[in-house]
Amino acid sequence: MMQIILENMVFTSYHGFYDEERRIGNEFRVTVTLELDELLSVKTDNLEDALNYEMVYNVVKAEMRTPSRLIEHVAQRIVDRLLKTYPLICKATVSLSKMNPPLGGQVEKVTVVTSGENENK
CA angle 66, 72, 78 (to 5 degrees): 55
The CATH number of the domain where 78 resides is what? Answer: 3.30.1130.10
SS3 46: coil
The per-residue pLDDT for range 46-80, each reduced to its tens digit, is: 778 789 999 999 999 999 999 999 999 999 999 99
The boundaries of the domain holding residue 76 are 2-117
For the annotated catalytic residues, the residue numbers are 98
Phi-psi region of 74 (alpha: psi -120 to 50; beta: other; left: phi over 0): alpha
Question: What letter does residue 38 receive in the DSSP assignment?
Answer: P
Indicate the number of domains in the chain. 1
Per-residue pLDDT of the chain (121 residues; tens, 9 = 90+): 899 999 999 999 999 998 998 999 999 999 999 999 877 777 788 778 789 999 999 999 999 999 999 999 999 999 999 999 999 999 999 999 999 998 999 999 999 999 999 987 6
